Structure 1
Amino acid sequence: MKKLFFLSFIFLAITGSSPRIFAQDEMLIDSIRNEMSVDTSWKKKIEFGANLNQGSFSSNWTGGAVNSIAVGGHLNAVLRYEKGKDSWRNDFQAQYGVVRNQGQESRKSVDRLFFDTKYGRSISEHWSLIGGVNFLSQFTDGFDYGESAAGNPERRKVSGFLAPAFLTESIGFEYNPTDYFFLTFSPGAVRHTFVTDLDLYKTFPKNYGVPIGQRVRTEVALMQLIADFDKEVAKNLNLKFRYTIFANIKQLNAIDHRLDVNLTAKINKYWNVNLGAIVIYDQDQSLAVQFAQSLSIGFLYIF
């Protein structure tokens, strides 16, 4: 009888308390699953901006000026994955702007299409082995404006979509002391220069180094060096630059340099002032240093 009473008590205790025990266990398991489902390995930053600049003057304005209007926009997106020793960074940038001065047709003020993807494997605290692919081109045709022998305005085509375009594959080492700066060294990087317009040489004889009648030229670098910086250097003031050196193993006396710089000052949550500059030295384009600069005030949304 005692044994029967003891077994009955155990049965009632189990059947009476198990629903609560199991419910608590299920809640704990669900909580753990929810925490595990939030993957913090991925980080993203997306910026969309647009600007409009306009200037007008009366017909008797003695300072000498013309009416003008300029519009532009850009989209920047960075997607990063970091987990353990592995990392993967994707960077997409698109910029386009048009300006029109009184008495002239519309002209481009900025035109850039850029994509960079890179995988890294950490080998020490600040060093990684990396492999990546980089693409650079533009959206629309570009022209050089001047005057003909008769004094009439004329333009000649000097670039276009995929004319040129640069596709670079590289492996090497990356030094990353902070989250806002990295330096990559890529011996043996391979760069392909595309000019899909086979008639471009008629108006731009250098043809970006691509042999006449061909659409692509391949170069191997003794060394490619990239320095990338992106940081808020002061309150509401961001500095971003990317400097690239490409040393063709067959033309070490003609090393290519490119520097892209952007300084952005936030006025408030949605408005900013942006100062941008591009400096290029590439003998396949010009024997002199090329420089482009832009200043704009516009809308900026980050999400």
Structure 2
Amino acid sequence: MMKNGSRKSLILFLLTIGLIPCLHAQNNSQALQKEVSGAGITKDPNDTTKMTWKTGGLYNLTFNQAALSNWAAGGDNSALSLNTLLNLYAFYVDGRRSWDNFLTLAYGIANTTSLGTRKTDDRINLTSKYGYDLGKKWYLSGLLDFRSQFAPGYNYPTGKPRVFTSDWLAPAYVLLSIGMDYKPTSNFDVFLSPATARELIVNNDSLAAVGAFGVDSGKKSRFEFGAYASVNYTSNLSKTATYVGRLDLFSDYTKNPQNIALYMTNVLNVKVNSSISMNLALTLIYDDKIRSVKADGTPGGPALQLQEVLGIGLAYKFAKKVRKPAAPPTPPPPAAPPK
């Protein structure tokens, strides 16, 4: 029988390999946002047509398999993992108006002989931001953000049955914000909003009954109104290394406004060649309304959530640009009739 340490090592290895393409896709998506935000959609200066839309995205599908039979060094008899990611974007620029849209769909599973099937990734994230250029690098902007997942999620306490923790629309976060967007450079922007509405949805009876994710017991939603800030930064550290960071902060005016909810992502990408890159990702999440779960399955208090992944992966990128045809030239006036 395989020891717990070997099981954990195998699962960690499979999850790391499976998550690599997701990190690579996130890095490329944020780099594409940098290309458009702040400086407008770039084009040939000699081109007289007006570009309005730029669309495209990234798609990844990763499959890993391993099998052992009478293997003296030990290990699970069989291990499989499958991860898929679809990352789409649509950017619109017309004069002073801009509209940025992102959609991320991700799902992954891993199966081993000893542990069965477990989910490794499950994300739905739609972000849409519309802005009007006021001049001097300031934009009046409105932002809509939606986050949820596809399938049920579980915790796996040591020596105990799995515990149901999440599901489709349980939770789901809907954020609607209006504020000012400051873009001093093409690689740095700050969005500030004193008026942000956030709706937390827990559309599952059993989870709502215990007040999961901060809703009142028996309630399936919680409305929050507060202040919101989002900072995005991209830096080309060298010809082959790029850093992309994002920091989101939210303060709920209606309950403990001093307790700031935090969401932060950091991605370091080092390009090996045209199709292979190395990624180091660090994600931090803190929300005082979310209770942690201890290793024995008992509930704990609020805690900083931390995820770090290092790996090498492949990604495929596609893009399309839509241009508005230039107005046809004005026809010359008709010739005067002969006298």
**The two structures share one fold, judged by TM-score above 0.5:** yes
**What residue in structure 2 maps to residue 288 of structure 1?**
303
Give, in whole Å, the separation in 1 of the partners of 2:278 and 2:82.
14
- Which stretch shifts more, 211-220 or 254-263? 254-263
Give, in whole Å, the separation in 2 of the partners of 1:249 and 1:201.
23
Shift of residue 295, structure 1, vs aligned partner = 4.0
Give, in whole Å, the separation in 1 of the partners of 2:201 and 2:149.
12
Give, in whole Å, the separation in 1 of the partners of 2:111 and 2:240.
31
Give, in whole Å, the separation in 2 of the partners of 1:285 and 1:209.
6
Within the candidate set 164, 168, 181, 1:174 is matched to: 181
Deviation readout 1:124-159 (Å, 9 max, x if unpaired): 231111111110111111100014xxx4x4101111
Which secondary structure state, in structure 1, belongs to the residue aligned with residue 306 of structure 2?
Answer: strand
Give, in whole Å, the separation in 1 of the partners of 2:157 and 2:51.
54
Could you tell me which runs of 5 or more consecutive residues in structure 2 were left unpaired when the two chains were aligned: 1-46, 292-301, 319-339
Q: Structure 1 residues 187, 231: closer, same or farther in 2, change over 3 A?
A: same
**What residue in structure 2 maps to residue 242 of structure 1?**
246
Deviation readout 1:61-84 (Å, 9 max, x if unpaired): 1xx754643321222222212222
1:129 equivalent to 2:134? Answer: no
Which secondary structure state, in structure 2, belongs to the residue aligned with residue 234 of structure 1?
Answer: coil
Deviation readout 1:91-129 (Å, 9 max, x if unpaired): 112222222333111112222111111111111231111
Paired residue total: 259
- Which stretch shifts more, 44-53 or 173-182? 44-53
Which secondary structure state, in structure 1, belongs to the residue aligned with residue 213 of structure 2?
Answer: helix
- Which stretch shifts more, 93-102 or 192-201? 93-102
Give, in whole Å, the separation in 1 of the partners of 2:280 and 2:81.
15
Q: Is the 8 A contact 2:211 2:217 kept in 1?
A: no
- Greater gyration radius: 1
Which secondary structure state, in structure 1, belongs to the residue aligned with residue 168 of structure 2?
Answer: coil
**What residue in structure 1 maps to residue 328 of structure 2?**
none
Within the candidate set 93, 104, 123, 1:93 is matched to: 104
Give, in whole Å, the separation in 2 of the partners of 1:226 and 1:184.
5
Q: Is the 8 A contact 1:50 1:299 kept in 2?
A: no
If asked which structure has higher relative contact order (CA below 8 Å, sep 6+), I would say 2
Q: Is the 8 A contact 2:170 2:204 kept in 1?
A: yes
1:225 equivalent to 2:236? Answer: no
Within the candidate set 302, 317, 321, 1:302 is matched to: 317
Q: Is the 8 A contact 2:202 2:208 kept in 1?
A: no
Give, in whole Å, the separation in 2 of the partners of 1:110 and 1:294.
13
- Which stretch shifts more, 291-300 or 104-113? 291-300
1:189 equivalent to 2:196? Answer: yes
Question: What TM-score do you get using the length of structure 1 for normalisation?
Answer: 0.76
Compare the two structures and name the one with the higher strand fraction: 1
Question: What TM-score do you get using the length of structure 2 for normalisation?
Answer: 0.69
1:51 equivalent to 2:51? Answer: no
Shift of residue 188, structure 1, vs aligned partner = 1.5
Percent identical pairs in the alignment equals 28
Could you tell me which runs of 5 or more consecutive residues in structure 1 were left unpaired when the two chains were aligned: 1-34
Give, in whole Å, the separation in 2 of the partners of 1:220 and 1:121.
24
